[in-house]
């Protein structure tokens, strides 16, 4: 398994008063952080790629195939949300298993994959727990395990660790990095924290008012030569 | 506190009457046999179980069908339609069912072809079931629909992403939520069917189809057999207490008004086959609910409305109804206000110090306790007591006003409490620092903040009292007739056209009040 390229060509979308316009190309296997103020369009970008929103115009290509009008389930994409990723009445194994079969008809092979994902995400021995018996971090681990067994070349993370504490968040970022290493997926993560981007993303997209304002290597954009908007967003004094 | 005392007095007096009769009248002979009592209990449970099944199971499917589609033409309207039966007095609904499916009903002829002969009508079990389903199916649909709205939006996104089909969505997303809601909804419907009085009275027709409440009424009004009434009342009380205990075990709650919310977006649209099945299901349910209401309107318009309105007995009954309902609503709202403000004051005094005190909890749930005791039971107790004291019918107006007020209180409390608590949070300290108390505080601070919810509660209480045929059935007489009572007496003297006209008038009055209450609530 390896990642897939994601290309948005002149994609336009509007909701209520706000308009969005995205034009970007991601390489297969790239790790990309999406930053920007609330309401700037981070989630919208992810939703467009996942198929939860459809553009008014423009094209969305994944792995070279036009996905613009495809239903979410038909796209080679997995998305992890900030919360509510799990069904409260299903145990950990079943919640992961849904990634193999949406009707939970699991083959021996599927079960092995689930077992492997449990180990990879540090959930061994917890397969029979219910989501209510897990911590917030563990719940997100289950969501990542599901993404792993789904085996889709693009992984979208929509502020997945926003409700976790700093130490836990570092742990989870490490896990995402590990998953990226084993699967080679193209990973796109929306986040508010420069730390998240620094920890795992090669590339950074900075979004403001529905547009990609800056696009470059994470180290460059967050390092010395940061553009004014990013400096303002981060609360750094603008470089004189 | 006065409110709780009054409720306690109301129940206490009733129980005193019953106890006195049980002791003093024990030696007297009673015409009622054990097998008769057994039969009544069995029928009560039997019809309630069937009514519940017939309401709740289809409601599950209809609620799901309603929530399945991103766009569903007329969904808001349908949900609103499904709220209407709750606003109709039971006796009006019973009449509507008769006007439609009865022997002389609008559907009698086509149904006659179906059975190849004369349509026998629907008195007895079938009529009771249809009327109960008419009331409770829409209620259950709204409650299940509300439950489905609690599903997190993200779950639908996951379903879309994982490519779940209709069945998988049902199994993993919808059914778990519905299953959790089902026991309390079924329990509520069961309770409503066990304590249903007006419907069984008007549609039961005969000793074979009599529930405990109707048997109590017959024992007091026709057989003059107070001892039998006491036995039946105690049985009814035991039964309702058992159900409440069962509901509490199931974690049930009394249903509130389902709020209409927008259906969250779906990412997998149902297949054509399912879409057609859904539409069919919803249309059938809508027709079932709509038809008796239309029948009420049609047969009401066919009666001589002009003559009815000019009849002095009708005018008197309407006036009596309005006056009693007005007084009852005044009583219900002021007692509820007292209860709500006392509760808040106790909570403020406590100020996070430990858990709620007994008094506070009494103010909280005290009003709801009245729901455990059916109005007929209270009425029966006082009826027996008053019989010893002298004239039963002298206390009739007082009984009607107080019992109806007590019955409305749980709902009124629920209506006014949120706005009172919110206002108190915001204004209490300010008002205290300005030294505003008592009447000035109410007029300048509480009234503007609570006007809408108080009016809403008032209209609701008035509508409830206006359409009630419970206590008045026991205490009514030629000198005290309300609209429902008059309707009942016209029905039992087979003046069907008159009854239909009265039903239309009564329905219009109740509906106007209920929509006033609803409008005020939604405008909040």
Tell me: the pLDDT tens digits for B190-219? 888 988 888 998 888 677 788 888 988 888
pTM of the model: 0.80
* Residue whose structure tokens are 């057989």: B223
Q: What is the mean pLDDT of chain B?
A: 82
Q: Concatenate the DSSP letters of all residues of B369-401 into one string.
A: HGGGS-HHHHHHHHHHHHHHHS-GGGGHHHHHH
Please indicate if any CB of chain A lies within 8 Å of the CB of B161: yes
Q: What is the model's pLDDT at position A142?
A: 94
- Closest Cβ opposite residue A103 in set B168, B267, B268: B168
User: Nearest CA to B149 among B258, B263, B73, B270?
Assistant: B263
For residues A33 and A203, is the Cβ–Cβ distance under 8 A? yes
Cβ of residue B271 closer than 8 Å to a chain A Cβ: no
Beta-carbon contacts of residue B200 (< 8 Å; ≥ 6 apart): B47, B128, B209, B210, B211, B213, B214
Q: Comparing C-alpha atoms, which of B460, B466, B405, B467 is closest to residue B91?
A: B467
Q: Which helix (H) or strand (E) holds B435?
A: none
Q: Can you say whether residue A31 is alpha, beta or left, with left for phi > 0 and alpha for psi between -120 and 50 degrees?
A: beta
Which residues of chain A lie closer than 8 angstroms to B162, CB-CB? 73, 98-99, 102, 150
pLDDT at A113 over 80: yes
| Chain A neighbors of B159, CB-CB under 8 A | 102
| Chain B interface mutation, best of A44, A72, A80, A162, highest count of B Cβ atoms under 10 Å | A72
**pLDDT attached to residue B284:** 93
Whether residues A85 and B171 touch (CB distance < 8 A) is answered with no
Q: Measure the CA–CA gap between B235 and B220, rounded to whole angstroms.
A: 16
pLDDT tens per residue across span B140-191: 998 899 888 888 888 888 888 888 888 889 989 899 889 888 888 888 888 8
Indicate the SS3 state at residue A127: coil
What is residue B29's predicted lDDT score, i.e. its pLDDT?
55
Residue A57 in tokens: 């115009």
Who wins on pLDDT, B281 or B1? B281
- A102 with B162: CB under 8 angstroms? yes
Write out chain A residues lying below 8 Å of B154, CB-based. 81, 83-85
Q: Is the pLDDT of residue B251 over 70?
A: no
Other Cβ atoms within 10 Å of B280 Cβ, number: 11
Determine the 3-state secondary structure of B305 from DSSP. Answer: helix
Task: Tell me what pLDDT residue B520 has.
Answer: 66
Q: Cα separations (Å) of A216 from A24, A191, B17, B303?
A: 11, 16, 86, 82
For chain B, how are helix, strand and coil distributed in percent, rounded to 5?
A: 80, 0, 20
Residues in contact with B256: Cβ distance below 8 Å, sequence separation at least 6, in sequence order: B414
Average pLDDT, chain A: 88
Please answer yes or no on whether A102 and B155 come within 8 Å at the CB atom: no
Instruction: Please give the residue that has the higher pLDDT: either A77 or B305.
Output: A77
Across chain A, the runs of DSSP E, i.e. the strands, are 6-15, 18-26, 31-35, 57-62, 65-66, 77-80, 154-158, 186-190, 203-208, 211-217
**Residue A90 touches partner B, C-beta closer than 8 Å:** yes
Q: Are B350 and B360 in contact (CB under 8 A)?
A: yes
* Percent of chain B whose pLDDT exceeds 90: 15
């Amino acid at each position: 398994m390896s990642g897939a390229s994601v290309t948005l060509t002149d994609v336009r979308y509007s909701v209520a008063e706000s308009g969005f316009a995205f034009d970007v190309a991601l390489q297969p296997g790239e790790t990309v952080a999406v930053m920007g103020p609330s309401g700037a369009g981070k989630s919208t970008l992810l939703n467009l790629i996942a198929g939860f929103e459809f553009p008014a115009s423009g094209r969305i290509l994944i792995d070279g195939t036009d996905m613009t009008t495809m239903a979410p389930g038909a796209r080679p994409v997995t998305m992890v949300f900030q919360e509510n990723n799990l069904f409260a009445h299903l145990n950990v194994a079943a919640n992961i298993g849904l990634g193999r079969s949406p009707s939970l008809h699991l083959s021996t092979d599927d079960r092995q994959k689930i077992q492997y994902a449990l180990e990879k995400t540090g959930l061994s021995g917890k397969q029979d727990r219910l989501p209510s018996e897990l911590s917030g971090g563990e719940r997100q681990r289950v969501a990542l395990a599901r993404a792993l067994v789904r085996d889709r070349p693009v992984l979208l993370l929509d502020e997945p660790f926003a409700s976790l504490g700093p130490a836990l968040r570092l742990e989870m970022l490490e896990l995402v990095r590990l998953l990226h290493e084993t699967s080679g997926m193209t990973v796109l993560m929306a986040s508010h924290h420069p730390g998240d981007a620094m920890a795992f993303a090669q590339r950074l997209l900075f979004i403001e008012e529905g547009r990609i304002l800056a696009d470059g290597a994470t180290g460059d954009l967050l390092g010395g030569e940061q553009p004014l908007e990013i400096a303002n967003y981060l609360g750094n004094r603008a470089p004189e | 506190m006065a409110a709780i005392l009054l409720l306690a007095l109301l129940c206490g007096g009733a129980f005193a009457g019953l106890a006195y009769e049980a002791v003093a009248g024990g030696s007297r002979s009673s015409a009622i046999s054990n097998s008769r009592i057994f039969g009544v209990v069995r029928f009560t449970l039997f019809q309630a179980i069937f009514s519940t099944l017939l309401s709740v199971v289809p409601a599950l499917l209809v609620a799901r069908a309603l929530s399945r589609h991103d766009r569903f033409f007329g969904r808001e309207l349908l949900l609103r339609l499904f709220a209407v039966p709750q606003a109709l007095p039971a006796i009006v609904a019973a009449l509507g069912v008769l006007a439609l499916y009865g022997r002389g009903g609008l559907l009698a002829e086509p149904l006659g072809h179906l059975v190849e002969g004369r349509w026998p009508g629907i008195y007895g079990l079938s009529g009771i079931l249809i009327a109960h389903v008419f009331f409770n199916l829409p209620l259950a649909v709204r409650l299940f629909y509300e439950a489905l709205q609690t599903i997190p939006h993200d779950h639908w996104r996951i379903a879309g992403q994982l490519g779940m089909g209709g069945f998988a969505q049902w199994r993993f997303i919808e059914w778990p939520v519905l299953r959790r809601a089902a026991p309390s909804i079924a329990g509520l419907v069961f309770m409503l069917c066990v304590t249903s009085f007006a419907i069984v009275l008007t549609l039961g027709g005969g000793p074979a189809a009599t529930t405990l409440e109707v048997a109590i009424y017959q024992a007091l009004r026709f057989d003059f057999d107070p001892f039998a009434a006491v036995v039946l009342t105690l049985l009814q009380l035991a039964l309702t207490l058992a159900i409440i205990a069962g509901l509490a075990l199931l974690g049930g709650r009394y249903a509130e008004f389902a709020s209409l919310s927008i259906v969250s977006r779906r990412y997998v649209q149902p297949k054509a086959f399912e879409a057609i099945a859904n539409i069919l299901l919803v249309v059938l349910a809508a027709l079932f609910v709509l038809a008796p209401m239309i029948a009420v309107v049609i047969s009401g318009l066919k009666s001589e409305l002009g003559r009815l309105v000019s009849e002095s007995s009708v005018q008197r009954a309407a006036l009596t109804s309005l006056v009693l309902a007005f007084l009852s609503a005044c009583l219900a709202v002021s007692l509820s206000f007292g209860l709500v403000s006392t509760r808040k004051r106790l909570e403020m005094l406590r100020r996070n110090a430990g858990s709620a005190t007994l008094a506070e909890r009494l103010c909280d749930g005290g009003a709801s306790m009245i729901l455990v005791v059916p109005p007929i039971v209270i009425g029966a107790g006082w009826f027996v007591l008053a019989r010893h004291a002298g004239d039963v019918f002298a206390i009739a107006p007082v009984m009607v006003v107080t019992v109806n007020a007590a019955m409305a209180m749980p709902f009124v409390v629920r209506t006014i409490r949120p706005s009172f608590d919110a206002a108190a949070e915001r204004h209490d300290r300010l008002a205290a620092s300005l030294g505003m108390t008592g009447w000035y505080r109410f007029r300048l601070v509480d009234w503007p903040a609570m006007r809408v919810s108080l009016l809403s509660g008032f209209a609701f209480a008035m509508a409830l009292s206006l359409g009630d045929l419970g206590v008045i059935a026991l205490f009514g007489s030629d000198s005290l007739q309300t609209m429902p009572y008059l309707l009942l007496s016209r029905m039992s003297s087979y003046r069907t056209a008159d009854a239909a006209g009265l039903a239309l008038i009564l329905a219009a009055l109740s509906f106007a009040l209920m929509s006033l209450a609803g409008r005020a609530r939604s405008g909040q």
